[in-house]
Structure 1
C-alpha cells in the first residue's frame, strides 16, 4: 500500500498534487509531519499551495506549534512556507515569532514575513510594525519594493501615512520614490508599483514614437 510519504516522493507533480489534495480532504492529524516536511522541499508552486490548504484543514492547535518550529529551519523554503501557512491560519498569538523573520537573510522569506506580519499583528502593534517595515523603504528590486508597499497598504492608511511622511522627510531620493509608489497604491491598489509605472512609461514612449513615425 502506498503511503503519503511515498506518494509525495513521486517525480510527477500531478501525482503529488493528488496525494496532497486527498490528505487535505481526509484531514488526518497523523499526516501533519509528512505534510510539513514536504513543504521544505516541494518544487512545484501548485503543490505547495495544496500543502498549505491541507495543513489549514488540520486542527490549529497541533499545526501552529509545528509550523513555528519551522521558522528556525536553515532551509529558506521551509521558513517561507511556514510563514505563508501561518498567515492563512490567522492565529495572532504567533505574531512575535513571525516578526522575528522580518529581517530574514533570505529576500523571499522576508517578503513572506512582511505579508504574514501585517495580517497577524494585533492592533496595538500595528504602528510599531509600520515603523519597522519603513526601514526597508527604497531597498531591493522591484518585486521586493512592491511587496513592501503592499504590506504597508494592508496595515491601513491611518497607521501608515504618518510613517511614510516621516520617512519621506528624513531620508533620500530612493526612499521618497518608494513612498510615492506606496501612496499611489492606497489610491489604486492594482496600479501603483514601480514595475507597472515603468511599463506604462515604455508604452507611452512607444506610442509617441509610433505617432511620430506615422
Structure 2
C-alpha cells in the first residue's frame, strides 16, 4: 500500500527577502529588481471579471497616488492570461470610469503565485487567494495578509499599515493599536532590569515600566 506524497513548498515569511521573479504584465515584462529602492505592495486576486476583484482594482487605483507619495508602488497578480487582463481593464475603464495605472501580472503558469504561497488549495486549486505582501525598499517582506475570496480588502487600512511600517523603520519605534499618523508612538521596551525604571529619553510618557509613548 502506497502513501500519498504531498509536496511541501516553502513560502516566504516576515523578514525574509522576497522571492525574485520575472513576469509578463499589463505594462510589459517586469522583474522584482525593477522596484529596487521603492516599497512595493504585491497583491493577488482570484480572477479577471470577478465582481469583488473589480472593486479592489478600482480601490487600489484610488490609493495609488497617495502611496506613490510614500515611495510605494503597486503590482497586482492573478493566474489569468494577459489577454483576459487587458480585456478586463478596458471593461473597468468603461464601467467604473477608472484607468488602472499599475501593472498586473499574468501568472498563467502560477510560477510567481507558487513562490509567494498565493494558492490556497482548501479554497481553490486554480485561483489565487487575496494575498497582500508589503516589501520595503530592500525587498524585505514587512507584512503578509490573506483575505478569503468572498471578502474585499480595506484600502484605508493598507495605507495606514504602510505609514506605520515606514514610521517604525525610519524612527526605530513601534506603533500602538489603531495608530494613525500624528499619534504617539511607542518606544522600545526595556531590555535589562536596570532599564525598568523608565526611559531616560526626553519627552517620553511612561505608562508602565514596559510602555512608553512619545510624539515624533
Q: Same fold (TM over 0.5)?
A: no
Which structure's relative contact order is higher, taking Cα pairs within 8 Å and 6+ residues apart?
2
More strand by share: 2
More helix by share: 1
TM, length-normalised to structure 1: 0.23
